[in-house]
DNA sequence: TAGGTGATGGAATACGTTTTCCGAGATTAT
DNA sequence: ATAATCTCGGAAAACGTATTCCATCACCTA
């Protein structure tokens, strides 16, 4: 068998069935600028329908620009990724494009390898959403790989904060975290623990720094805030809160998690330990994933316009070529039931 | 510009740089069975590395079997889809394949169109996970389209229950729901409301039927169970529970939702209405998504081995050709805090 | 009526790979 | 020592589509 996907109906078959040349059939079925006589057009369309013809995307990609958009993410199971995937898919489908997803599982080695693999698709654009790699680590072979891809005519869009010379749509993590920190300080909290997630993750680091700055601006000085690192998962948050509760809280009156998942994990630990939220301790998340509102108490958090960011990423990916643009979208503080005002008990 | 993705480095360039023929370069870089002298092999490898060569997937797909796996789903933002996507991606990446995702948003029209579009990729396999379309509705043009695809040499795998003549990995929705229903009946509940989700969704219908059967087996007769349809979302569940609470429950002592999302929505409505769960009313979900355990009270539900099912789907998609096989995976009843025993108060 | 012009169908080529086919040299068997 | 076999590099064809040329024909203008 010369070809694995044999006996597929090809443009050649359609042309033959319609009694026209290959070129004419192509002009009718592909989006050509050349005009074709109504009679021929009819015949071709009819034949294509009858034969259930579908143009081979691979063959087509060899002559015109590719129809694929690639998403490379650390982990595709996270709710925020789902939203970005969905936004990409929606945009792609209206353009007749395809979305491919690849996961790197946060491993920089796999990340490089993944991008190299994805580059084979010659996607029109490569959307990279990685929180796990600092700009510094990116600058090596990964950067070279991205450059090579760009040189091939593709476009790179990074979702997340970056100072790399590629289009990007970032979140104002620092600013939003700072506002949240300030709010917590000003509502009377005096001793806080930051659940900071994994080390070396840019977004988490920015949020942590924002928390610290906001707290200080609100009058909560450094020694009263403790930063604890942990895996970025429900379990990670659970662990931290569990230990904290076991230690007896030691005056901690607010716990600021670097994302909602961590906060939800922490919430469970507190509940199991008999620590009331927000009466015993206030708790906040970040991201405002759907879950934040369905948990008891509903989480005070920062809403990130994820769908908007995803759409914006696609806009950059598909838009006219132009100067590298960094778009920053703002987070919005959402105060719910997991925090409360405290009377300032002099420390 | 003859070709849009111009000045990409091609196999031709590598061959020239290495001073060998195209054929030799291909044999080294593609996974050929032909052996190449170590010296030449070295030279080709070096040249490829130096030039950052990446084989064009489209061109390659024209000669060998395609490297893409397509996932067509109703909605890619749901947690279960995320797990399936992830499982597919993992399997694909070890095989050097790609995963493309497409969403149909539950619209049968778009579903047909989507499959037609995806068929253009000539994917090695087409994984279809749709709960929204009954087998009956599928049997028309959609079935023909899938048949055409299969005839092209692709493989169709359906995730979810189906009686269509394609490989499938289904969940024993009926059985698991029946066990849950029986458990609820036997733990003393006497008047139950089933939050059944949307009409015409196969999985939901099977679960509903299972609930009914299990309840009956446990001694709860038909007039005492009420079936309420609603959109499949948190909001849908919220609405139903909200109305139910507003009506004053009328003796309802258990609410069985057809999935966790609905249950979580219902939970919120009950909390807002001051109905205690499980003391006022018992509540159950289905699927055991991560969220079920992070909600207060933790949800009694049915755990579905989603990751296993996803992996199984890939196995069918990538495996040796063979007879159509229907794999059924079992759900497991997980009793948590949202249900409790009731003393049988004679009705 | 002759020459120009625009419209449109078809043959051929290009895209970047893989794979057959061929031939030359090396190796083994008799 | 000669024939048979094996090994392996290179030329060329093939995959399915889009596009560039070229040829034809109708129509218009002077």
Contacts of A101 in chain B (CB under 8 A): 85, 89, 99-101
Over residues A263-290, the pLDDT tens digits come to 999 999 998 899 999 999 999 999 998 7
Q: What is the mean pLDDT of chain A?
A: 89
Contacts of B58 in chain A (CB under 8 A): 57-59, 61-62, 66, 121-122
What pLDDT is stored for residue A294 in this prediction?
A: 79
Q: Which residue has the tokens 């990609």?
A: A61
Residue ranges near strand D (C-beta within 7 Å): A 2-3, 5-6, 8, 10-12, 22-23, 26-27, 29-30, 32, 34, 53, 55-56, 59-60, 62-64; B 2, 20-24, 27, 34-37, 40, 59, 62-63
Residue ranges near strand C (C-beta within 7 Å): A 2, 20-24, 27, 34-37, 40, 59, 62-63; B 2-3, 5, 8, 10-12, 22-23, 26-27, 29-30, 32, 34, 53-56, 59-60, 62-64
Enumerate residue ranges in chain B where pLDDT < 50. Answer: 1-5, 132, 346-347
Its pTM stands at: 0.84
More confident residue, A231 or B91: A231
Reported for B139-145, long-range contacts at CB under 8 A and 24+ positions apart, including other chains, are: B139/B164, B141/B112, B142/B108, B142/B111, B142/B112, B142/B115, B144/A52, B145/A52, B145/B112, B145/B115, B145/B116, B145/B119
What pLDDT is stored for residue A1 in this prediction?
A: 32
CB-based contact, A191 to chain B, within 8 Å = no
What pLDDT is stored for residue A6 in this prediction?
A: 54
More confident residue, B87 or A139: B87
- Stretch A146-162: mean pLDDT: 87
Q: Name the A residues in 81-120 with CB < 8 Å from any B CB.
A: 81-83, 85-86, 89-90, 93, 96, 98-103, 114, 116-120
Binned at pLDDT 50, 70 and 90, residue A20 comes out as very high
Contacts of B295 in chain A (CB under 8 A): 294-296
Over residues A87-131, the pLDDT tens digits come to 889 888 888 889 999 998 877 778 888 998 999 999 999 999 865
SS3 readout for chain A: CCCCCCCCCCHHHHHHHHCCCHHHHHHHHCCCCCCCCHHHHHHHHHHHHHHCCCCCHHHHHCCCCCCEEEEEECCCCCHHHHHHHHHHHHHHHHHCCEEEEEECCCCHHHHHHHHHHHHCCCCCEEEEECCCCCHHHHCCHHHHHHHHHHHCCCEEEEECCCCCCCEEEEECHHHHHHHHHHHHHHCCCCCEEEEEECCCCHHHHHHHHHHHHHHHHCCCCHHHEEEEECCCCHHHHHHHHHHHHHCCCCCCCEEEECCHHHHHHHHHHHHHHCCCCCCCCEEECCECCHHHHCCCCCCEEEECCHHHHHHHHHHHHHCCCCCCCEEEECCEEECCCCCCCCCCCCC
Chain C positions with any atom < 7 A from a protein CB: 7-20
Over residues A50-79, the pLDDT tens digits come to 999 999 999 999 998 888 999 999 888 887
* Burial state string for B64-79 with b = 16 or more CB within 10 A and e = fewer than 16: ebbbbbbbbbbbbbbb
Tell whether the model's pLDDT for residue A345 goes beyond 90.
no
Q: Name the B residues in 236-255 with CB < 8 Å from any A CB.
A: none
Tell whether the model's pLDDT for residue A255 goes beyond 50.
yes
Distance, CA of B226 to C1' of C12, in Å: 71
């Amino acid at each position: 068998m010369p070809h694995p996907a044999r006996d597929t109906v090809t443009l050649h078959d359609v042309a033959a069935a319609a009694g026209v040349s290959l070129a004419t059939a192509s002009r009718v079925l592909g989006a050509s600028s050349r005009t074709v006589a109504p009679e021929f057009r009819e015949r071709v369309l009819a034949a294509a329908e009858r034969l259930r013809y579908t143009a081979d995307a691979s063959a087509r990609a060899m002559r015109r620009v590719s129809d694929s958009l690639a998403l490379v993410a650390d982990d595709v199971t996270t709710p925020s990724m789902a939203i970005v995937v969905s936004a990409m898919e929606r945009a792609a489908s209206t353009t007749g494009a395809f979305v491919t997803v690849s996961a790197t599982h946060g491993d920089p080695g796999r990340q490089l390898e993944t991008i190299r693999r994805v580059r084979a698709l010659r996607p029109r654009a490569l959307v990279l959403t990685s929180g796990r790699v600092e700009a510094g680590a990116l600058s090596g072979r990964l950067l070279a790989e991205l450059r090579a891809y760009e040189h091939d005519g593709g476009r790179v869009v990074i979702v997340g904060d970056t100072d790399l010379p590629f289009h990007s749509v970032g979140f104002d993590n620092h600013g939003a975290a700072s506002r949240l920190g300030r709010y917590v300080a000003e509502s009377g909290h005096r001793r806080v623990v930051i659940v900071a997630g994994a080390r070396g993750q840019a977004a988490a680091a920015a949020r942590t720094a924002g928390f610290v700055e906001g707290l200080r601006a609100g009058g909560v000085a450094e020694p009263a805030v403790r930063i604890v690192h942990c895996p970025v998962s429900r379990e990670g948050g659970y662990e931290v809160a569990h230990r904290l509760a076991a230690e007896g809280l030691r005056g901690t009156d607010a716990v600021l998690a670097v994302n909602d998942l961590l906060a939800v994990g922490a919430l469970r630990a507190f509940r199991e330990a008999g620590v009331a939220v927000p009466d015993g301790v206030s708790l906040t998340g970040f991201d405002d994933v759907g879950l934040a509102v369905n948990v008891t108490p509903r989480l005070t958090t920062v809403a990130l316009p994820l769908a908007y960011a995803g759409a914006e990423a696609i806009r950059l990916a598909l838009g006219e070529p132009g100067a590298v643009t960094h778009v920053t979208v703002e987070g919005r503080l959402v105060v719910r039931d997991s925090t409360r005002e405290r009377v300032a008990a002099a420390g």
